[in-house]
Structure 1
């Protein structure tokens, strides 16, 4: 996921939470509190997703069989490693 997309989504989500909480309660302090809580939950979930993506079982299998590397030396001569 692109960082800009994540930031736009986080800003949109926090705005929706803040506005809806303010309309429901009429309190700016409750809206601010719920917005901060939702941002913390979003950050924790994003961190867990990144950790899952890095350490999932498929990541080990990808390292076991690296693709063949071909070095092009020019003039039609290739070396396979």
Structure 2
């Protein structure tokens, strides 16, 4: 069962990075699904940054950046399997 773990608040198309405010814990290696009005894809978190530093995990309340394989939009929801 997928659980909501965050919401996209920005997307940087040149570097294909989604900025996400977490509502749950997320780790490198987790399988996520991003869903929105026109967004719907799955991927594995291959790397994550917080405060411009690479991190292996992040917790509720953190703002993180992750590389995404497709375009995302503000308010898209991030789910973890």
Query: Is TM (by shorter chain) over 0.5?
Result: no
Higher relative contact order (CA 8 A, sep 6+): 2
Task: Give the structure with the larger strand fraction.
Answer: 2
Task: Give the structure with the larger helix fraction.
Answer: 1
TM (norm. structure 1) is: 0.19
**If you compute each CA radius of gyration, which structure gives the higher value, 1 or 2?**
1
